[in-house]
Structure 1
Amino acid sequence: MLNTASPLARRSNVWLVTGPPGMGKSTLFSKVILNLRSRGIVVGGCVTSEKRMSGQRIGFRIRDLLTDDEGELASVTGRLGPRVGRYRVNLNDLSAVGGRALERAAKEADLIVIDEIGPMELTSPDFRRSLRVCITSGKPILAVVHERMNDPLIEELKGMSGEATVVVGLENRDSLVPEITRRVGSEISVRDTL
């Protein structure tokens, strides 16, 4: 149940989700996206997923939610692109899939979803420009932000979200799905009636 102490109690059109790795942020996002789509809300943007081989994470994929176009975000075997940890970021796919997904969502979607805005994504000037398009579009944004990331774009989003930044942990991750779905869904419904 949503109460006044909840970080989602403040009305806003920017909601941010953060938390330590492995807490279920992407799983939470997938469930929220399914719930919102079942309400007829057009959800656009991009999501990332792990790429594994023999149980080991070897990279990440990025997918456009409106077209299902997919590309490689980063890989341990990549030879080109900026290095983030043990991964090389594929700037071409990040721009062609991720950047275009954000700009398409700013034009066509009711809600812009981004999983995630982190060090890999922010190495790309094109992705940053596309994120700026989303911010200036005025459309509702639901995004996962890297827990310890300090960047002017993330700080701007945090300022826009006010108190609507949620930290996902073991104790709240299951209750957040209906809470976020309800809050985001009701905000979009209100905007549609204006």
Structure 2
Amino acid sequence: MVAVKIGITGPVGSIKAEALQKIMDMLINDGMTIQGVLVKEIVEHGKLKGYSLFDINTKKRVIFADSDIISRVKIDKLGVDTRLLEEILIPSLQKAREEADVIVIDEVGKLENLTKNIQKEIGETLKSEKPLVVTLHKKSRNPVLQEIKALEGIRVFDITPINRNLLPFRVVRVIKGEEGS
């Protein structure tokens, strides 16, 4: 049996993050171990200042993209500390593939192409035999989104202000095998 893979797409903003948090809380309440990484925007005075990465298992948080970081690698015109990002993301996903009941990768499209090592790690995680929940930007031209949509067993849900409260319940049912394709 192929492990359930869930993709959640939607508009920029907190709606995906809120749904993902609700899904994680529900799965944890059901006794499941969740591991992986969450990405959070850092906004100051209404302006995007950076991004942080949070390892769900170790609870370690690092700021990996910031307007003050000088780097050839950029996300939304912000410099990216790829070494710092790899130090957290790679062991987090490796451990998740070994130990987690469900793996979470938040904002996979933003992270995927930053380095070859990260690309390889995310690719291996996407192919793993564990249930997986990823969030993505809704840009259909993004090759990562196309790659995820082509995965065996993938279900992609588009979150909207209308379905935002019900979607987490539906995703949890799919992960637990209570709702078919």
Same structural fold, with TM-score higher than 0.5 when normalized by the shorter chain: yes
> Does the CA-based 8 Å contact 1:51-1:58 persist in structure 2?
yes
Deviations 1:104-148 (A, max 9, x none): 101110111010112344212221111122133211111012211
**CA distance in structure 1 between the partners assigned to 2:75 and 2:126 by the alignment:** 25
Return the alpha-carbon distance in structure 1 between the equivalents of residues 40 and 106 of structure 2: 9
Q: Using the TM superposition, give the Cα deviation of residue 76 of structure 1 relative to its aligned residue in structure 2, in angstroms.
A: 1.4
Match for residue 126 of structure 1?
A: 117
Please tell me whether residue 49 in structure 1 is matched to residue 8 in structure 2: no
What is the match of residue 146 of structure 1? 137
What residue is the counterpart of 2:170 in the other structure? 179
TM score, norm. by length of structure 2: 0.87
Q: Which residue of 1 aligns with 2:84?
A: 93
Please tell me whether residue 155 in structure 1 is matched to residue 173 in structure 2.
Answer: no
Contact 2:136/2:145 (8 A) holds in 1: yes
One-letter amino acid of the counterpart of residue 36, structure 2: G
CA shift digits 1:60-89 (9 cap, x unpaired): 110111111111231112112412222112
In structure 2, the residue matched to 1:102 is: 93
Residue identity (%): 23
The total of aligned residue pairs comes to 176
Q: 1:155 to 1:179 in 2, by over 3 A?
A: same
**5+ residue gaps in structure 1?**
1-10, 189-194
Q: Structure 1 residue runs of 4+, over 3 Å off?
A: none
More helix by share: 1
C-alpha deviation, 1:23, in angstroms:
5.7
Task: State the partner residue of 1:58.
Answer: 49
Q: What secondary structure is seen at the aligned counterpart in 2 of 1:123?
A: coil
Over the aligned positions, Cα root-mean-square deviation in angstroms equals: 2.1
Indicate if the aligned counterparts of 1:100 and 1:130 stay in contact, CA closer than 8 A: no
Query: Which residue of structure 2 aligns with residue 4 of structure 1?
Result: none
TM-score, scaled relative to structure 1: 0.82
Structure 2: state its 5+ residue gaps. none
**Range that drifts further, 101-110 or 72-81:** 72-81
Question: Structure 1 residue 18 and structure 2 residue 12: aligned?
Answer: no
Q: Give the whole-Å Cα distance in 1 for the aligned partners of 2:174 and 2:153.
A: 15
Instruction: Decide which moves more: 42-51 or 161-170.
Output: 161-170
Name the residue aligned to 1:36: 27
